[in-house]
Structure 1
Amino acid sequence: MSGPQCCENPPTLNPASGQGHVEELGGLKSYVSGSSDSNLAIVLVSDVFGYEAPNLRKLADKVAAAGFYAVVPDFLGGEPYVPENAERPVTEWLKDHGTDKGYEDAKRIVEAVKGKGASAIGAAGFCWGGKVVVELAKTGAIGAAVLLHPSLVSVDDIEGMIIFTFGVKAPIAILGAEIDHRSPPELLKQFEEILAAKSEVDARVKIFPKVSHGWTVRYDVADEEAVKCAEEAHSDMLEWFAKFVK
């Protein structure tokens, strides 16, 4: 995570973006979109730039339009990573925003969403958020997982997801980039081999050509090709959740 690629193309954060609204959920400010009466919910776990990223909120709105209650919590406590702050490089920033804490917060979010009536919950994690979602899936807290250009996820993590200590087989899709130093194609192919060895596990690993780490939420909206690549990943994510979160 200390590599620069995770911090490239930072979004211009906008607390007013999106069609939904912000409310407190599980003790965290959260951007929510869609009807809370839906019994199907998706938690989107951001990258290091946090829950005010317009493209991420736009994706949450898309998830809501597909019939889910979409939740984007502020796991970073109002302190997203700021690349311009040379006095606090990402390695230092991570000391205060570790994925372990993100996982503990995420468990509370899942319980809060269940408290609103959700009977089936999926989670998608982007970069930093990918590790949080892996931890949720390991413990059976969610019914389906999607990792998009994840960081900090190891072979041991993927193996841990299929041990099923709790008897839960959470279907997992991993959407990766061809150009990614954090989760290079070689690592993703290892993940695929591990998952393929467990035929009872619903799993998919897809490597998108000619795209870089972060392409699903840090794309330039004026770049037609970048938007097209991001939307393909969004569609794959939604198809996964439509199939397994029900």
Structure 2
Amino acid sequence: MTSACCPVGSLPYLAATHTATGRVVDLGAVELYANTTNGTNGILICPDVWGWNGGRVRAIADGLSEQGYKVAVGKFLAPALDGGTDGDALPPDGDFSMDWIKQFPWETQRPKVEAALGFLKAEGCSKIGVLGFCYGGHPACWASTVEPSVVCGVVLHPSMQLEGFAFGGDTAALLKSVRCPFLLAPAGNDLPMWSACGEFGEALKASAKGADCVFKEFPDMSHGWSCRGDLADEKVRRDVEAVMKDAIGFFAKYVLA
């Protein structure tokens, strides 16, 4: 994979092994994996390029439900490439395709994301946090510009540079348009522009709520570690636990407040 989405050295596909406790909901505009048994406010998860049932995405969703949130995971990268993973995004043995990802600019994704946010609002959520992995940071940032109920966002190993590389937009302008606090957690091999002092980091800090944005860099990790890293590796487990603690704390500050 290339810097258009995932940098060289990114972690590969990880098969999901978690026994999910939520349900699949078909809204017409988009399908969701949802766990809404707990909480009064919500989190929308925007997955990476292996989609709504790759790696630990549903395990993370169920874990956030246990923390007291109504959680939805969007099936946002459909039509999938060569069947995808559970009908979404890339297949397990697939490589990133620029031609494929170009069909998912914000104007295409907006109805899906708004339907997912509408589902959480219909479940009673007046405050919603967005959690993006890799590609998922792109719709997560856009969601914050159009939906007042989105009060914060977290993006792990961000790939919002797709706004420029794939969709013909301006990544810095997108980040400056963000309307709520964001926590960004880049890996060691992510683009240097994603550091707090990098071009994209500075753009986010120039947004309306930039003073409240947080950067937590994980230099020992490779892109994808949070949801696809091998937890048998002591360092990976350490940093997965650390970044999820950071994310939970950030969501608690804004979504549960």
Q: Under TM normalisation by the shorter chain, which class is it?
A: 0.7 to 0.9
Higher percent of residues as strand: 1
Q: Are 1:112 and 2:119 counterparts? A: yes
Amino acid at match of 1:39: T
Q: 1:200 to 1:30 in 2, by over 3 A?
A: closer
Amino acid at match of 2:12: N
Give the TM-score normalised by the residue count of structure 2. Answer: 0.80
Q: Are 1:237 and 2:237 counterparts? A: no
User: Deviations along 1:131-176, whole A, 9 cap, x unmatched?
Assistant: 1011011224411111111113422221122xxxxxxx41211111
Cα distance, 1:225 vs structure 2: 1.9
Q: 1:147 to 1:85 in 2, by over 3 A?
A: closer
Cα distance, 1:95 vs structure 2: 3.1
Amino acid at match of 2:177: G
Cα root mean square deviation, aligned: 2.6
Amino acid at match of 1:40: N
Amino acid at match of 2:90: Y
| Partner Cα separation in structure 2 for residue 129 and residue 110 of structure 1 | 14
| Partner Cα separation in structure 2 for residue 219 and residue 138 of structure 1 | 31
Mapping of residues 79-98 of structure 1, within 5 Å: 79-82=88-91, 84-85=93-94, 89-98=96-105
1:160 alignment partner, one of 167, 177, 193: 177
Kept after mapping to 1: 8 A contact 2:43/2:128: yes
Q: Which runs of 5+ in 2 are unaligned?
A: 79-86, 162-170
Cα distance, 1:186 vs structure 2: 4.8
| Partner Cα separation in structure 2 for residue 4 and residue 138 of structure 1 | 24
Q: Residue 137 of structure 1 corresponds to which residue in structure 2?
A: 144
User: Deviations along 1:184-205, whole A, 9 cap, x unmatched?
Assistant: 5557633443454567742111
Kept after mapping to 1: 8 A contact 2:15/2:54: yes
Kept after mapping to 1: 8 A contact 2:189/2:221: yes
Q: Residue 221 of structure 1 corresponds to which residue in structure 2?
A: 231
User: Deviations along 1:5-50, whole A, 9 cap, x unmatched?
Assistant: 3864112256x742322222464221122416x3210000001100
| Partner Cα separation in structure 1 for residue 6 and residue 186 of structure 2 | 17
Amino acid at match of 1:124: L
Give the TM-score normalised by the residue count of structure 1. Answer: 0.83
Q: 1:126 to 1:103 in 2, by over 3 A?
A: farther
Q: Residue 150 of structure 1 corresponds to which residue in structure 2?
A: 158
Q: 1:72 to 1:220 in 2, by over 3 A?
A: same
| Partner Cα separation in structure 2 for residue 179 and residue 51 of structure 1 | 24
Kept after mapping to 2: 8 A contact 1:26/1:112: no
Q: Residue 31 of structure 2 corresponds to which residue in structure 1?
A: 29
Aligned-residue identity in percent? 26
Kept after mapping to 2: 8 A contact 1:26/1:111: no
Q: 1:35 to 1:83 in 2, by over 3 A?
A: closer
Q: Residue 202 of structure 1 corresponds to which residue in structure 2?
A: 212
Q: 1:110 to 1:26 in 2, by over 3 A?
A: farther
Amino acid at match of 1:132: P
Cα distance, 1:85 vs structure 2: 4.7
Q: Which runs of 5+ in 1 are unaligned?
A: 162-168
Count, aligned residues = 234
Kept after mapping to 1: 8 A contact 2:151/2:180: yes
Kept after mapping to 1: 8 A contact 2:204/2:210: no
Amino acid at match of 1:19: T
1:121 alignment partner, one of 128, 134, 143: 128
Cα distance, 1:178 vs structure 2: 2.0
| Partner Cα separation in structure 2 for residue 25 and residue 186 of structure 1 | 37
Q: Residue 45 of structure 1 corresponds to which residue in structure 2?
A: 46
Residue range with higher mean Cα deviation, 77-86 or 224-233 = 77-86
Cα distance, 1:213 vs structure 2: 1.1
